[in-house]
Structure 1
Amino acid sequence: MNAIHQIETNVPKFKDKKRKLWMLGLVIPNIANAAMLGYQFGPKRTKKFFAVAGPIALHGLIPLIDKFLGEDSENPPEEAIAELEADPYYAKIVNFYIPLQYIANIYGNYIASRDSTPLFDRILIGTTLGLVNGVAINTAHELSHKSGKLQHYLSHLCLAPTGYNHFRIEHPYGHHLRVATPEDPASSQFGESFWKFWPRTVSGSFKSAIEIETRRLERKGLSFWSIHNELLQGWAMSAAYHGLMLKVFGKNIIATQITQSLYGITLFEAVNYMEHYGLKRQKLENGRYERTMPVHSWNNNSLFSNILLYQLQRHSDHHAYPTRSYQALRHYENVPQLPAGYTSLFLQVFIPSYWFSIMDKQVINYYQGDIDKINVYEPAKEAVLQKYNQYFQAQATEAL
């Protein structure tokens, strides 16, 4: 017995090598704050550069750093998960994003409100704030999976600037239930361009959230218009935020506010588009879908973008264990792998022909040429079959 105890105590305790690096998750709002400082006090010729610093960082600088730093080699062992989950340090980092987010929005709206700021610059400032608030939807995502009511309200606080408060309801109770099925508005389909997906997911998720919250309230004998409706609470928070911003800064910020919301939502839905493209849970003999497994999400292990996004790219583990916190998520090798991190794929997503050229054959390969196993966008099915007919046949033959 003593020998066994000695062996167990000699097992080295897991140490999170990224522990201090997680603080980099706060860099996005600080990019915006630094950019607004540069806009306010920098020379006139640099103002537009600072106004659009957010997209420059997202689509240029961050992908370069991601490529340079490469893959994350650390995977926490199963026995370390409980201790990682119990450590309050990680939750504090997530929560601290929120005051930095609001400082960036207040400062950005102040700069946009000045009469000396041209309309075009106000729109550019909106894109930088949109990056902050788009990443804040991911912060809301981390919080929305927690069980505490405080975390849910903090999630709504993150979502207030974009007005995307229905996400707090639809994502954990809708998307996670229907993920990688044709019925899920948040799972992109094979042959579906991002610009077809965007209106489908935004409208479908909004409708789904209303249905989910209506059913929840009905089970409690309450109407949709009850004060206990979390959607109404979230929308009220968003209305209060935008009303206060307009009261304080005036109508000059309208273009900035519209831009930040649209850009932030678009960035987040671009990530949604990448996460499950073409993947499909198969139906069982009883007509129900198989349970969600790691293979129903595209995974990526790029170090820097995972640090910035609370390891959202370890999406396979997230859907297998939805309540698991970001610091405890693990990488899987034997699941569909994206060719690069999210930040490196935004531009490809926005150019459908580019996206299809790098992803379609990966989907076909994964399902060994069996189109019935792929989550196909029905309006594009004939065109897809015609385009990849020989490739489908070759993969199917190779699988035999």
Structure 2
Amino acid sequence: MTIAQSAGVALKDPNKALWLFSPLVPIMALFYLGLGYWTGQLAFYWAFPVVIYVFIPVTDWLVGRNTRNPSAALIDAMERDPYYPALVYAFVPFQFIVTGFGAWVIAMSPPLPWWAIFGLALSVGVVNGVGFIAAHELTHKKNALDRWLAKLSLAPTAYGHFFAEHVRGHHKNVATPGDPTSSLLGESFWRYLPRAVLTGIVSAWRIERDRLQRQGRSTWIPANENLHTWAMTVALFGGLVLWLGWIVFPFLLAQAAYGIILLEVTNYIEHYGLLRKKLPNGNYEPCSPAHAWDSNHFVCTLFLFQLQRHADHHSNPGNRYQSMRCFDGTPQLPASYVTMMLVAYVPPLWYRVMDHRVAAHYNGDLSQAHVHPSRRAALGLV
């Protein structure tokens, strides 16, 4: 198939225009924050979180699932089409605009009530939380532009070590005890969160230390990807503080914290209770579609660069978001990622919704699941 023919096939992608919803996320946030600032109606600072946490779940329920997969010819065409990566590239500068505008509103407004500041931080944090999905998409690519944009996308959340840890740590160790971001059955999100953050930083540092040592180089050099991604955060936060004053610093930390929570609750959902079998040679079986939770709820997929087809991402990490497919045998969530985030924040509800699904995935044999040590005795596992 020629490039011209491929381009013609790519025009048949039924969702091509709909992928604009993903880069529209920061534009929507900017619109509502601007309304709040210029009209003085502070309730607008909460409008964007309402769109994310009410509009998306409701429309997902109304629209339902999409289980269609692109053909091999269409995947080839879409992978060649520059339209799709351009949408991811567009997301990154808008992240910085939203972050800067949020800080500017804090600095230039009269003293705001706590609930308005909270809404501002959530709005900006949601944008930078979705920014992790853009960074996730770009981190897996090999060209310099994609990789630098991935690092820039991590700067507003001070989570630059994700760049090193995700590909060379998480993808290697997913659904095993060696992965910081594979959650265990019976482990609440609030217990998982500090573990994932701290062990993820340690893992990223070890990965870069070992890489540089193999090259005979010091760990403390600019080539350490952790150091230069963290330096981008220092430059961004430092520049905003120099411009607007120290009043914006707590806001920057708050929105970053919520962005991190969004990343980690997504990680928590994606592999909950799933475990790769250990082989007689001591290695783990290859990662397969059985080791990630998928959701085919259509509306949320459009806002999240199709992250919800996560099993295919682990099987084909080099493919771009528009090419992701769903597979038979992949464990399915009962709702979209956004809905399941809200469920994960309430551990008893999460266990009620998810633990029996983990058991069903393993045909009732929880000895095959990734179970938290505190639950093993209660389940009769030793």
Aligned AA (1:105): T
Aligned AA (2:310): H
What does residue 165 of structure 1 align with? Answer: 160
TM-score by length of 1: 0.90
Distance in 2, matches of 1:337 and 1:105, equals 34
Alignment of 1:168-317 (within 5 A): 168-317=163-312
Distance in 1, matches of 2:124 and 2:109, equals 19
Q: In the alignment, is residue 62 of structure 1 matched against residue 59 of structure 2?
A: no
What does residue 102 of structure 1 align with? Answer: 96
Larger Rg belongs to = 1
Q: Contact 2:186 / 2:351 at 8 angstroms: preserved in 1?
A: yes
Question: Where do 5+ consecutive residues of structure 2 fail to align?
Answer: none
What does residue 21 of structure 1 align with? Answer: 18
Q: In the alignment, is residue 331 of structure 1 matched against residue 343 of structure 2?
A: no
Task: Give the Å deviation of 1:35.
Answer: 1.3
Identity score, percent: 38
Task: Give the Å deviation of 1:63.
Answer: 1.1
Alignment of 1:118-129 (within 5 A): 118=112, 120=114, 121-129=116-124
Q: Contact 1:108 / 1:129 at 8 angstroms: preserved in 2?
A: yes
Distance in 1, matches of 2:153 and 2:9, equals 35
What does residue 73 of structure 2 align with? Answer: 79
Which of the numbers 28, 33, 38 marks the counterpart of 1:31?
Answer: 28
Question: Where do 5+ consecutive residues of structure 1 fail to align?
Answer: 390-400
What does residue 363 of structure 1 align with? Answer: 358
Distance in 2, matches of 1:227 and 1:288, equals 34
Task: Give the Å deviation of 1:119.
Answer: 5.2
Distance in 2, matches of 1:150 and 1:217, equals 22
Task: Give the Å deviation of 1:153.
Answer: 1.4
Aligned AA (1:328): S
Q: In the alignment, is residue 137 of structure 1 matched against residue 132 of structure 2?
A: yes
Alignment of 1:343-382 (within 5 A): 343-382=338-377
Q: Contact 1:133 / 1:162 at 8 angstroms: preserved in 2?
A: yes
Task: Give the Å deviation of 1:73.
Answer: 4.0
Q: RMSD over aligned Cα, in angstroms?
A: 1.7
Q: Contact 1:298 / 1:316 at 8 angstroms: preserved in 2?
A: yes
Distance in 2, matches of 1:102 and 1:240, equals 12
Distance in 2, matches of 1:355 and 1:123, equals 25
Distance 1:249 1:159, change over 3 A: same
Aligned AA (1:61): F
Deviation per residue, 1:177-225 (Å, 9 max, x gap): 0001122111000000000110111111110000111111112111111
Q: Contact 2:9 / 2:73 at 8 angstroms: preserved in 1?
A: no
Aligned AA (1:338): L
Deviation per residue, 1:229-258 (Å, 9 max, x gap): 111110111100000011111122123212
Which runs of 4 or more aligned residues in structure 1 lie more than 6 Å from their structure 2 counterparts after TM superposition?
none
Aligned AA (2:58): L
Distance in 1, matches of 2:281 and 2:365, equals 21
Distance in 2, matches of 1:227 and 1:109, equals 28
Q: Contact 1:122 / 1:253 at 8 angstroms: preserved in 2?
A: no
What does residue 397 of structure 1 align with? Answer: none
